[in-house]
Copies of this chain bind each other. A is one copy, B any other.
């Protein structure tokens, strides 16, 4: 029953690039919703919203479920883990930056002690 294969031509990074799609995600986090109800929250056509939903589904960020004549969508946060993993790689960098900044601030008194080395900007 596991996901057959991603095969998506849309990745998470591209999926969340659009502000409308990010808003969709936050909307669908709380509750499952059918397309028409969803599109009521956006200043664009239902068709446009539907296309965004398909892109999100393609990236695995939402799941769809047919209920009678409507298709209900809801958030699947799982692919965000990839983003989290990607981001975590950069944590050491901003930790470094914070450390450099801290060092800079703390050496306020001894200003001219090879300050250029810190290389903040």
A residues engaging B (CB < 8 A)?
A: 13-14, 16-17, 19, 22, 25-26, 29, 63, 65, 75-78, 80-81, 83-84, 86-87, 89-90, 93-94, 97, 121
Contacts and interface: CB of A to CB of B under 8 A. Distances in A.
Main secondary structure of the interface of A (DSSP, over half): helix
Given A13-B17, A97-B78, A87 B87 contact: yes
A80 B87 contact: yes
Q: How many copies of this kind of chain does the complex include?
A: 2
26 contacts: A13-B17, A13-B19, A13-B22, A14-B17, A16-B17, A17-B17, A22-B86, A26-B89, A29-B93, A63-B121, A65-B121, A75-B90, A76-B97, A76-B121, A77-B90, A77-B93, A77-B94, A78-B94, A78-B97, A80-B87, A80-B90, A80-B94, A81-B94, A83-B83, A83-B87, A87-B87
